[in-house]
């Protein structure tokens, strides 16, 4: 499996990147005013200096910065992300609880943005400079310029407050307990608006890239060859243009994975979704630096995994990649 070994090598190459991020953010957080113990003491309603000292010793915070870093990395190797004093649980547990809504949200938004971006991009490129193109391109520009949190709020006003079609927030209805398929529907109803909100800007980006890339590929020589063979326009597009035009889109998924995860911070806050993004926001507000560092680690891991999948996908689409490895 050449493709797999190629992607595997890329994956291995991202380990130094991961360490670079962790060390960088760890050192950055040393500059933050206040540490975990301060946060803890504030939670407890204050305490004397002796207690603080004891706690610092307990958490290893009295050591030198390099020693703390070494400690942290060593714990990380054993998949121990530390303890969240705010939630009173290990950070790994807190994050794992919050992971499913975020992954669900990201997958849904990405699928939505990718599918419709592809569709609209193709339609726009087919009718370039005619009204479908103008309409789609204009909508794309407007979607791109719309702040996601604002779109979310307005969607709540329209669909939850006035029309009362969809719930204004949360991951599932806590009042009634549903099972099976109804539970799935319930979660879907809760995720519909967040998905649209998060996906909108990416839809705009994808459709623009797809349109540009279609136009570019349509000008390539092999498209002329295809036409000279006597293929009709539909088959020229489906058999020759589409796959070539998809390549930049696929690359973009990998590049934008981080941006999308970042966007979920805002969207989850708007819709009160108990996900990773909202956790990031809460830990900043509550100065829960251990959790924040854990989130940095997990979100970097997520982005790296998305890129791994994207590499595999790309190599499947483009035989030239596998040949290079």
Residues of span 207-236 touching another protein by CB under 8 A: 215, 218-222, 224-232, 235
Residues numbered 9 to 68 that lie near another protein (CB under 8 A) are 9, 14, 16-18, 20-21, 24-25, 28-29, 31-33
Contacts with 41 (C-beta within 8 Å, 6 or more apart), sequence order: 47, 51, 52, 55
Residues 253, 255: Cα–Cα separation, whole Å: 6
End-to-end CA distance of the chain: 11
Contact 4, 315 (CB under 8 A): no
Q: Based on CB atoms, which residue is closest to another protein, 108 or 198?
A: 198
SS3 label, residue 90: strand
Q: Based on CB atoms, which residue is closest to another protein, 187 or 307?
A: 307
Contacts with 265 (C-beta within 8 Å, 6 or more apart), sequence order: 277, 278, 280, 281
Smallest gap from Cβ 184 to another protein, in A, equals: 28
Residues 60, 69: Cα–Cα separation, whole Å: 10
Contact 98, 107 (CB under 8 A): no
Q: Based on CB atoms, which residue is closest to another protein, 1 or 145?
A: 145
Contact 195, 267 (CB under 8 A): no
C-alpha distances out from residue 239 to 127, 203, 242, Å:
19, 24, 7
Smallest gap from Cβ 183 to another protein, in A, equals: 28
Smallest gap from Cβ 234 to another protein, in A, equals: 11
* Burial letters 268-285, b for 16+ CB under 10 A, else e: bbbbebbbbbbbbebbee
Asked whether position 91 contacts another protein by CB under 8 A, the answer is: no
Residues numbered 126 to 155 that lie near another protein (CB under 8 A) are 128-129, 141-142, 144-151, 153-154
Residues numbered 232 to 291 that lie near another protein (CB under 8 A) are 232, 235, 239-240, 243-244, 255, 258-263, 265-266, 269, 280-281, 284-285, 287, 289
Q: Give the total of residues touching another protein (CB under 8 A).
A: 82
Q: Based on CB atoms, which residue is closest to another protein, 107 or 259?
A: 259
The residue whose two tokens read 């990416």 is: 202
Residues numbered 287 to 316 that lie near another protein (CB under 8 A) are 287, 289, 292, 295-296, 299-300, 303-304, 307
Q: Based on CB atoms, which residue is closest to another protein, 40 or 187?
A: 40
Q: Based on CB atoms, which residue is closest to another protein, 116 or 144?
A: 144
Smallest gap from Cβ 306 to another protein, in A, equals: 10
Q: Based on CB atoms, which residue is closest to another protein, 76 or 261?
A: 261
The structure tokens listed for 321 are 């990649």
């Amino acid at each position: 499996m050449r493709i797999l070994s190629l992607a595997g090598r890329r994956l291995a190459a991202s380990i130094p990147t991961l360490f670079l991020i962790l060390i960088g953010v760890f050192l950055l957080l040393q500059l933050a005013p206040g540490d975990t113990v301060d946060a803890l003491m504030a939670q407890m309603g204050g305490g004397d200096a002796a207690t603080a000292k004891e706690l610092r010793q307990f958490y290893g915070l009295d050591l030198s910065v390099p020693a703390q870093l070494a400690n942290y990395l060593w714990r990380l190797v054993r998949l121990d992300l530390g303890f969240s004093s705010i939630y009173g649980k290990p950070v790994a547990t807190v994050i794992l609880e919050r992971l499913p809504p975020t992954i669900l949200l990201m997958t849904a938004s990405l699928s939505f943005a990718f599918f419709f971006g592809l569709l609209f991009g193709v339609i726009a490129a087919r009718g370039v400079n005619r009204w479908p193109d103008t309409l789609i391109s204009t909508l794309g520009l407007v979607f791109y310029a719309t702040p996601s949190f604002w779109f979310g709020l307005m969607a709540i006003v329209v669909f939850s407050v006035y029309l009362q079609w969809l719930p204004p927030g949360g991951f599932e209805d806590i009042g009634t307990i549903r099972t099976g398929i109804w539970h799935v529907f319930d979660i879907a109803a809760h995720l519909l608006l967040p998905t649209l909100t998060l996906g909108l800007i990416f839809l705009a980006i994808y459709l623009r890239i797809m349109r540009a890339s279609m136009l570019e590929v349509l000008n390539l020589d092999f498209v002329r060859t295809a036409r000279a063979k006597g293929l009709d326009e539909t088959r020229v597009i489906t058999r020759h243009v589409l796959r070539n035009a998809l390549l930049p889109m696929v690359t973009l998924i990998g590049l934008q994975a981080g941006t999308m995860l970042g966007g979920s911070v805002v969207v989850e806050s708007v819709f009160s979704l108990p996900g990773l993004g909202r956790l990031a926001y809460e830990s900043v507000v509550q100065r829960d630096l251990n959790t924040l560092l854990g989130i940095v680690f997990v979100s970097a891991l997520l982005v790296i995994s998305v890129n791994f999948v994207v590499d595999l996908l790309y190599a499947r689409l483009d035989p030239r990649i596998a040949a290079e490895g």
